[in-house]
Amino acid sequence: MLDNFRLKNLSLIVFDLDGTLLNDKGEITNNTKILITKLREKGVRFSFASGRLHSALVKYANELNLATPLISLDGSLIKSIDNKQVVFESPIPIRYVKKAVKLCEQTLSNYALCHGDAIYYTDNNSIIPELLEKYGAIYKEVHSLNEYLDNTLEIVVAGDQKSNIKFIENKMTFPSSFGLTTSYYKSHIYGGLYYLEVRKNGSSKGDGLKKLCKHLGMTWKNAAVVGDWYNDRSLFETKALKIAMANAVPEIIKKADYVTKNDNNNEGVAEFLEQVLLAK
């Protein structure tokens, strides 16, 4: 059971989107929308922490009438919904962007550069929009990536050659590279496909939550996080109240303070929000 006192004192709830707030049709249920409205009237703030680009989050934030800055690209960017305020951004040093591009071209790996507004790729990597699980992103094919090396928040590599992906990861981490963090994982939906995401150190969903709390002038104990997938790991390593969906992977369930009885297709988020509303 959840601690009623802690629920009563929650002032920020941060959702992962895919597999959590959204059902498998990419929808937020009406019941969840109603509960969020009622809780917002009681002073609770809401935000997202997602691997999606900022531009791919705005639609859902507006659907819920949110006003709190959003954590995107797994913590590389924290930005207001109206795009007028950047709370935090962490571009990768250009020398490392160039290094990653060179490694990808040497190994014939598909890659793209993620900015806050779009994902940029060239004709040589034209399959990128079909491979990436960056839902709702704007993809832009450009003649050359030279103009887009600056302000790169994430480098993403995708392919079915696991050894090549691991080779690139090795070259982009200490001691071959400094100040970077990498995420290597198997595709959620495509069998035999592997991904590598490279970001600057200090860029994770958990780091993003810490920065957002500081920006809002609040502490961890007044925040809750809700997630389901491996890239939510850093959120579930914080001191926030940790809520795992019934459909979450075992690693997230193990770290959770509470696991919903229902999954993302059966009002799992609403189940938790109802408990928060009752405590208020």
Of the pLDDT bands very low, low, confident and very high (cuts 50, 70, 90), residue 136 is confident
Q: Which CATH class is domain 94-200?
A: alpha beta
Q: Which residues contact 146 (CB under 8 A, 6 or more apart)?
A: none
Of the pLDDT bands very low, low, confident and very high (cuts 50, 70, 90), residue 76 is very high
DSSP 8-state code for residue 71: E
Q: Which CATH class is domain 4-89+204-279?
A: alpha beta
Q: What is the pLDDT of residues 4-40, one digit of tens each?
A: 999 999 999 999 999 999 999 999 999 999 999 999 9
DSSP 8-state code for residue 109: -
For the chain, give every residue range classified as CATH 3.40.50.1000: 4-89+204-279
Of the pLDDT bands very low, low, confident and very high (cuts 50, 70, 90), residue 245 is very high
For the chain, give every residue range classified as CATH 3.30.1240.10: 94-200
- Residue 132 has what pLDDT? 87
- Residue 231 has what pLDDT? 87
Q: How far apart are CA 255 and CA 253, in angstroms?
A: 5
Across the beta sheet with 70-72, what order do the strands follow?
A: 70-72, 77-79, 86-89
Mean pLDDT of the chain: 94
Q: What is the pLDDT of residues 249-260, one digit of tens each?
A: 999 999 999 999
* CA dist 11 → 7, 42, 216, 244, 255 (Å): 9, 9, 10, 19, 22
